[in-house]
Amino acid sequence: MNEYSEHNVKKLRRTNKGRMIAGVCSGIGEYVGIDPNLIRVGLAIATLFGGAGVGLYAIGWLLLPDEERDTSIVQDLISKQQQRNATDWTGEHKPQQ
């Protein structure tokens, strides 16, 4: 058996446990092994001094998949766009609507 089986790999996900808004801080905290409140305080400080905390949280919300899903919000949007632009069975592009 491979020592790096799928069950041993930690995945960075937004979690439901400890979630306050979207689960970004709780997911990061679980992944790195620290209290999510420390991450929340760090984002609050970053928000107060330049506003970067809100942007970082939004990026995490868009890029980190929820723990029940395999894809993030951005990956879902990209795949929907690719399906919309996909070719039909004749090999021709579908007209844009």
Domain assignment of residue 62, yes or no:
yes
Domain count, the chain: 1
pTM of the model: 0.69
Domain assignment of residue 68, yes or no:
yes
Domain assignment of residue 41, yes or no:
yes
Domain assignment of residue 45, yes or no:
yes
Distance in angstroms (rounded) separating the CA atoms of residues 83 and 50? 39
Domain assignment of residue 94, yes or no:
no
Domain assignment of residue 91, yes or no:
no
Residue 42 lies in domain: 24-84
Following DSSP, what letter does each residue of 38-87 receive, concatenated? HHHHHHHHHHHTTSHHHHHHHHHHHHSPBTT-SS-HHHHHHHHHHHHT-B
Read off the pLDDT of residues 49-90 as tens digits, 9 standing for 90 and up. 988 999 999 998 998 888 888 888 888 888 888 887 765 555
Query: For residue 34, is pLDDT > 90?
Result: yes
